[in-house]
Amino acid sequence: MLKGKIIKGLSGFYYVDTESGLYECKARGIFRKQKITPLVGDNVEISIVDEENKKGVVETIEERETELVRPPIANVDKALIVFAVKDPKPNLSLLDRFIVHAERENLEIVIIFTKMDLDDGSLDELVEIYEKAGYKVIPVSSEKHINIDKVKEELKGNTVVFAGPSGVGKSSLLNQIDESFQLKTGTVSEKIGRGRHTTRHAELLKLECGGIVADTPGFSSLELDGIDEMELKEYFIEFDKYDECKFGSKCVHENEPACDVKEAVENGEISKQRYESYLQLLNEIRQKNSRRY
């Protein structure tokens, strides 16, 4: 048996990357009976059927650490959330929405602000907001080749998705990280940027720096379906340490008097910007839920 990772699935075949190369595999019939569908990203064991033609069979699937729906990939461990400093101007409420989705999927999060060469003074504040919340923030410029190595460090040894709106420079950044990326994906802008957001097939690409990246951006739907009013606050990690709020676990940190989170917003320990995003999302969830009942 050979250990490997499924990096692509196509018409019932799974392409498994192993230390002895790539194998085209079928899945054992038992998986279908158990209603288990192998997923891109799965860590598997295969038996070799035909070494010459690199054909095998997926025998076992390791338990998944994470399982993304869009794109459908198992065992992603990190989300690199990408927004531009300028052109387009960052929509922070959208950024916070990406964070909520990534937190919900239990991914490690790094926030990248691209196009720092265009900065006209807003970058410092952006970095401050998200560092204060507890995130690692990396400003980069693909144009001027700044901090590309720092992003590579984040990729090394991890399976990551890039997430963020189109036009912020995700494909430009990936091209800087790995010069052969364009060859691997064909038309990059079509793949990771515009146009392929509705894709149902995802593929993992191995990068020279030792990371693995999804060829489609993460969280193509940012709907808040299924998130409970009480649950949202868990995804604003800077609220965590105030969870001993006088109102206990029932506090949604909104209209409750003497709420510790509100106090922290007042005295600047929590960013107002982030708190307002939270309230906005909270209201959206309520409206959704009231329509449902």
**Residue ranges that bind ligand GDP, judged by CB under 6 A:** 114-115, 117-118, 141-143, 166-172, 189, 192-194
Which CB sits closer to ligand GDP, 46 or 112? 112
Cβ nearer to ligand GDP, comparing 79 with 270: 79
209 is in an annotated binding site: no
Name the residue nearer to ligand GDP (CB basis): 18 or 189: 189
- 6 belongs to the binding site for Zn ion (CB under 5 A): no
Q: Environment class of residue 94 by beta-carbon count within 10 Å: exposed (0-12), middle (13-18) or buried (19+)? A: middle
Q: At what angle do helices 123-133 and 272-292 cross, to 10 degrees?
A: 70
> Looking at this protein, which amino acid is placed at residue 70?
R
The C-alpha R_g of the chain, in whole angstroms, comes to 21
For ligand GDP, give the closer residue by CB, 152 or 288: 152
- Closest separation in Å from C-beta 125 to ligand GDP: 19
Q: Cis omega (within 30 of 0) on the bond before 72? A: no
Q: Of these partners, Zn ion, ligand GDP, none, which one is at the site of residue 39 (CB under 5 to 8 Å by kind)? A: none
Q: 61 vs 168, which CB is nearer to ligand GDP?
A: 168
Among positions 243-282, residues that touch Zn ion (CB under 5 A) are 245, 251, 253, 259, 261
The position carrying tokens 């951006």 is 217
Tell me if 117 is assigned to a ligand binding site: yes
Binding-site partner at residue 4 among ligand GDP, Zn ion, none, CB < 5 to 8 Å by type: none
Rounded to an integer, what distance in angstroms lies between the CA atom of residue 224 and that of residue 98?
11
Sign of CA dihedral 130, 131, 137, 143: positive
188 binds Zn ion (CB under 5 A): no
Nearer residue to Zn ion within complex by CB, 196 or 253: 253
Residue 202 zone, left/alpha/beta (φ > 0; ψ -120 to 50; rest): beta
| Binding partner of residue 142 among Zn ion, ligand GDP, none, CB cut-off 5 to 8 Å per kind | ligand GDP
E strand or H helix that includes residue 68: strand 67-68
CA distance 28 to 33: 10
Return the one option of ligand GDP, Zn ion, none that residue 115 interacts with (CB less than 5 to 8 A, by type).
ligand GDP
Place of tokens 């808040």: 224
- Report, in Å, the least distance between residue 269 CB and Zn ion: 13
167 is annotated as contributing to ligand binding: yes
Produce one character per residue of 121-144: b if its CB has 16 or more CB atoms within 10 Å, e if not. eebeebbebbebbebebbbbbbee
Q: How many angstroms separate the Cα of 98 from the Cα of each of 8, 191, 289?
A: 25, 19, 20
Q: How far is the CB of 198 from ligand GDP (least distance, A)?
A: 15
The minimum distance between CB 288 and ligand GDP, in angstroms, equals 28
Name the binding residues for GTP.
Answer: 114-117, 164-172
List of residues contacting Zn ion (CB under 5 A) = 245, 251, 253, 259, 261
